Structure formats: C-alpha cells, structure tokens
Amino acid sequence: MATALIILAAGQGTRMNSELPKVLHRVAGAPLLVHAMSAAAPLGAERTFVVAGHGAEAVRAAALAHDETVEVVIQSEQKGTGHAVAQALPHLQDFAGKVIVLFGDTPFIRAETLEAMLAARSDVVVLGFEAADPKRYGRLVVHSGHLFGIVEYKDATEDQRAITLCNSGVICADASLMSRLVAGLGTTNAAGEYYLTDIVAAARAAGLTAEVVTCPEHETLGVNTRADLAEAEAAFQARKRVEMMEDGVTLTAPDTVYFAFDTVVGRETVIGPNVVFGPGTTVESGAVIEAFCHLTGCHVSRGASVGPFARLRPGAELAEDVHVGNFVEIKNAILDEGVKVGHLTYLGDADVGARTNIGAGTVTCNYDGVMKHRTTIGADVFIGSDTMLVAPVTVGAGALTGSGSVITENVPAGAVALGRAAQVVKPGLAAKLFEKLKAEKARRQKAKE
C-alpha cells in the first residue's frame, strides 16, 4: 500500500532558549529533522510533507537539502498538532494509502517500528511505549487490547495518570479517514488547541477500530530542552559505537569516539581514543585512525593510517596505504597510493602523486587573499622539510625540493629545486654579539634597582 509521511516541524521550542528552530538543533552533526526524515526513509513513502512554522525558511532549506522531493507546508499559527496536520492533508485529497504523522524533534524511531504500524489492521494505529517514569506524557486508555482514547496529562484524572502506557504522538491511518477525522476536531480542552490525539475517540465513536503498537521508550525520546539534546546525543553515540563494533570495527576506547549521523567505517579498521568524525566521512576496511584525530567530509582508503593529532577536512581523499602523521592537516587534496606526510604539514587544494614523500613543515600556500590556487605534485617526488609551495605551482614526477625552499615556479620532472637565500657566515661574531647582549641585559637590570 502507498504511504505518505507528515512530519511536524513548526514549533519554536521555547525551552531550548534559542533563536534556532528546535528541529534544526543538531545531534551527531545533523538537524533533528534530518534524523526523523532518515528514520522513515526505508518506508519508501510516495510523498513526504514537512509542516514548518517558526523559522520556516530555514526549516525548508534543511529539509530540501536532505531530500529535494520533500513538500514543505506552512502552519502560520500554532494551534496544536491537529491543526498542523490539517495544513498538509488537503494535498492528499486524491492519495490512496496510509499516512503516518511523525515529529521532527523525535529522531530515533526505527523504520521497523513504523512498518509494524503500517501492517496493523485497525483503522487508527497509535505508537505507544511503557514509560519508566510517565511524567507528563499523554496516556493511552486500552481495554481488552483495543485503544479507546488518548488523554493528555493536563486533562487526565488521577486514575488515568496512573496508566504507564504512554503516547508517542505518532499516528497512522488511511489518508481519507485521517482527513475526515481531523476535519471534525474541536478545541474543548485545557489548552484550547486542536489535538491530533482526539481522532482516536472520534474514530471509536464512529464505530471504527483503534490499537496501539508499542516500541521501547528510547525510540520515542523527544527533544525539548538543551538537556534533552545532550541526552539524545549520548543515546545516538552509544548506539553507534555498539553498531560499529558489531560490524567489525575496533574502538580502543569506545566512550571517547564520536560519530556523525552518516559516518561509514569498514571492518578491521582500528580507531584510537578521542577521535571525532564530522559529517560526510568514509573510512574503508583495514585503516588505522590514531588518537585525537578529527575527520570531516573526507575519504580514507583501505590500509591508510591517520594520526595521531591529524585533521582531515572536506575534500581530503587518501588512497590506499597513505600515511598521514601527527599535526598534519589535509583539505581539498588528493593523495595517491603510498604517499607519506609524516608531520607538521598543511596540504590544501593539492594533488599529490603516488609514493611521494612530504617532509616536515611543508605548506601549500594556496590562498592569495582573494582566491584559492592548486598545487600539483607528481609521483615519487621528495619534498624537503620546510618547503613552501606557492600555488599555483607544479612539481614534476621524481623531482626533489631542498629543505627550506620557497618554490614559486614549476619544477620539471626529475629536477632539483632550491629556493632559499644564500647563507652568510661571520667567523667569531657570535661571541661578540653575546657579550653585547649580556652587557645590555645587565644595564637594564641595574636601571631597575
């Protein structure tokens, strides 16, 4: 059966104490909204709607950046979840299939859980969970396996507040039925809002069936405060670390490694302590990432080694068996097979040929204050320590640069390039200079006394 998604993302999130829309706060480098969209992606929904309100343009941009087929509708006034869903339903008048309503601030619901809701036979299906501490969640009133209603905490009696089966807010129903039920919602409640949850009671009153599909409580974790955001980050990282180790990745100090929402790491890779992965990073099998490295928007091939204390920035491409050592930064650069960059080096906007050795302290001087320029280094080149490569510049295959050189012109293949000032030696001058400096120091100390 065809499926449509409505993701509610209109709230301001006042408890976040932020100008940023709540659903754009990030967990593992991605907005909460993107997590919610990604969780439902395996369903293969024919249409997906994001209901935006506060910061609508920013929400729209984030949604479309993740999935350009998403349809964004606006809830200009915040009149409750029922009112939010009503903004999307007119676009589904001719849609024959089921609709699932999700929340942009609830990032961890699994696709398997949503599939179970779609497979349920009742007219209205609600996702619930048994809460260790029900707090102020809405309660699900169930008798003999049938759902009779959802009661918001502020409207619940003491007996109803004793119920531990709680409402996640996620609801599934046929599109035409949901449109009909939402159209009949009223505001006779403590908040004076249109509650989407009231469609359950309306369905039962019309002789229709309703049921609850349950999931573990951690799937329904919603983010309303900065503390919730930190809890969500911790939950994501804990789950991701376990997944990585189960997939054959070695984490020598798991609690200190942080992954992005889209990090891919191949089996037999070893990751040391205090490594941070930003978005857009792939590490192939058998690589080694040493301690205190930061990788974002990069690709590390099989057998490569990185670190310790290295940084790979967006556009860094490391081929097989490349070695990037301590205090090395790579940005928008391609390093071919077997390249060695041992230490204390910056390679930006560069192409480096196979088996080339980059000496300590090398810098590709890629920025002239206005534009970026590229450095091209051929295969089997030896770049001496403390070489400044002033781009745009090319060093041919098999060439060598002398230590301390400033290279401003192209170097032919097989050539040696030296670009440093002539050394001047003054015999005996050092002792005279030291005597002069010591006398000056003594004079200054005496003047202070």
Give CA–CA dist 442/217, Å, rounded: 74
146 lies in the same domain as 284: no
Average pLDDT, the chain: 95
- List the one residue out of 348, 338, 341 whose CA is nearest residue 326: 341
Considering the domain architecture, whether residues 213 and 250 belong to the same structural domain is answered as no
Write down which residue in 189, 220, 251 finishes a domain: 220
**Of 185, 220, 255, the domain-final residue:** 220
Whether 111 is in a domain gets the answer: yes
User: Which of 293-297, 356-360, 388-392, 445-449 shows the lowest per-residue confidence on average (mean pLDDT)?
Assistant: 445-449
pLDDT of residue 13: 81
- Provide mean pLDDT across the span 373-401: 98
Q: For residues 146 and 208, state if they share a domain.
A: yes
Residue 151, judged by CB atoms within 10 A of its CB (0-12, 13-18, 19+), counts as buried
- Domain identity same for 179 and 279: no
Q: What CATH number corresponds to the domain at position 40?
A: 3.90.550.10
Indicate the Cα dihedral angle 192, 194, 195, 201, nearest 10°: 100
Closest CA to 67 of 101, 92, 43, 37: 37
Which among 66, 91, 343, 373 is annotated as catalytic? 343
Flag whether 233 is in a domain: no
Would you say residue 78 has pLDDT above 90? no
**425 inside domain:** no
Distinct helix (H) and strand (E) counts, the chain: 9, 33
Q: Is residue 359 part of a domain?
A: yes
pLDDT of residue 136: 81
Of 189, 183, 203, 239, which Cα lies nearest the Cα of 39?
A: 239
Q: CA–CA separation, 325 vs 340, rounded Å?
A: 8
- Do 134 and 269 lie in one domain? The reply is no
Same domain, 205 and 294: no
At residue 374, what are phi and psi to the nearest 5 degrees? Answer: -105, 145
Same domain, 275 and 312: yes
Q: Determine the pLDDT at residue 286.
A: 97
Distances (CA, A) of 305 to 102, 132, 308: 42, 45, 9
SS3 331: strand
pLDDT surpasses 80 at 425: yes
| Cβ–Cβ under 8 Å, residues 133 and 211 | no
* Pick from 147-161, 357-371, 409-423: least confident: 147-161
> How confident is residue 47, by pLDDT bands cut at 50, 70 and 90?
very high
How many domains would you assign to the chain?
A: 2
CB atoms within 10 A of CB 372: 13
Treating both helix axes as pointing N-terminal to C-terminal, what angle do 111-119 and 32-40 enclose, rounded to 10 degrees? 50
Copy the structure tokens of residue 116. Answer: 């179970």
Identify whether residues 150 and 275 lie together within a single domain. no
Per the annotation, the verdict on 83 as an active-site residue is no
Looking at the fold, whether 190 and 135 belong to one and the same domain comes out as yes
Give pLDDT, residue 189: 77
- Domain end residue (candidates: 186, 220, 254): 220
Range of the domain at 101: 3-220
% of the chain surpassing 90 pLDDT: 89
Where b means 16+ CB within 10 Å and e means fewer, 212-241 reads bbbbebebbbbbeeeebbeebbebbbeebb
User: Whole-model pTM?
Assistant: 0.89
Cα separation, 329 vs 344, whole angstroms: 8
CATH number at residue 403: 2.160.10.10
Domain presence at residue 9: yes
Q: What angle do CA 270, 271, 274 make, to 5 degrees?
A: 165
Q: How confident is the model at residue 190 (pLDDT cuts 50, 70, 90)?
A: confident
What is the Cβ-side half-sphere exposure of residue 29, based on CA atoms within 13 angstroms? 16
Do residues 71 and 143 both lie within one domain?
yes
Same domain for 135 and 251, yes or no, is no
Identify whether residues 394 and 364 lie together within a single domain.
yes
> Is residue 442, in this structure, part of any structural domain at all?
no
